[in-house]
Amino acid sequence: MASTAVLRKPVFSRRQLLERLWLIALQVLMTFLLVTFLVPTLWMISASLKASTEIFQHPITWIPRDPQWSNYVRVFQVIPLAKFAENTVIVVALSVIGTVISSVMVAYAFARIRWPGRDLFFSLLIATMMLPEVVTLIPRFIIFKHLGWIDTWLPLIVPYWCAGTALYVFLIQQFFRGIPMELEEAALIDGASRIRILTEILLPLCKPVIATVAVFALLQHYNSFLEPLIYINSMDKWTLALGIRSINDSNAANWELVFAAGTVMVAPIIALFLVAQRYFVQGIAMTGFGGR
Reported as a pLDDT band with limits 50, 70 and 90, residue 289 is very low
Q: Mean pLDDT throughout 279-285?
A: 62
71-118 pLDDT, tens digit per residue, is 888 888 888 888 999 999 999 999 999 999 999 999 999 988 888 988
Q: What is the pLDDT of residue 15?
A: 78
Q: What is the pLDDT of residue 291?
A: 45
Q: Has residue 7 got a pLDDT over 60?
A: no
Q: Are 68 and 50 in contact (CB under 8 A)?
A: yes
Q: Has residue 270 got a pLDDT over 50?
A: yes
Q: Has residue 146 got a pLDDT over 70?
A: yes
The reported pTM is 0.80
Q: What is the pLDDT of residue 286?
A: 58
195-233 pLDDT, tens digit per residue, is 888 888 888 888 888 888 988 899 899 989 989 999 999
State percent of the chain over pLDDT 70. 89
| String of DSSP letters for the chain | -HHHHHHHHHHHHHHHHHHHHHHHHHHHHHHHHHHHHHHHHHHHHHHTTS-TTTTT-SS--SS-SS--THHHHHHHHHS-HHHHHHHHHHHHHHHHHHHHHHHHHHHHHHHH---TTHHHHHHHHHHGGGS-GGGGHHHHHHHHHHHT-TTSSHHHHGGGGGT--HHHHHHHHHHHHTS-HHHHHHHHHTT--HHHHIIIIIHHHTHHHHHHHHHHHHHHHHS--HHHHHH---GGG--HHHHHHHHHHHTTT-HHHHHHHHHHHHHHHHHHHHHHHHHHHHHHHHHHTTT-
Exposure string for 54-90, b = 16+ CB within 10 A, e = fewer: bbeeeeeeeebeeebeebbebbeebbebebbbebbee
Enumerate domains of the chain plus CATH numbers. Answer: 80-288 (1.10.3720.10)
Reported as a pLDDT band with limits 50, 70 and 90, residue 292 is very low
Q: What is the pLDDT of residue 94?
A: 95
54-74 pLDDT, tens digit per residue, is 888 778 788 888 888 888 888
Cα–Cα distance, 264 to 246 (Å, whole number): 15
Looking at per-residue pLDDT, the higher value among 6 and 281 belongs to 281
Q: What is the pLDDT of residue 12?
A: 54
Which distant-in-sequence residues (6+ apart) come within 8 Å of 237 by Cβ? 87, 151, 152, 153
Cα–Cα distance, 226 to 249 (Å, whole number): 16
Backbone angles phi, psi at 203, to 5 degrees: -60, -40
Cα–Cα distance, 59 to 64 (Å, whole number): 13
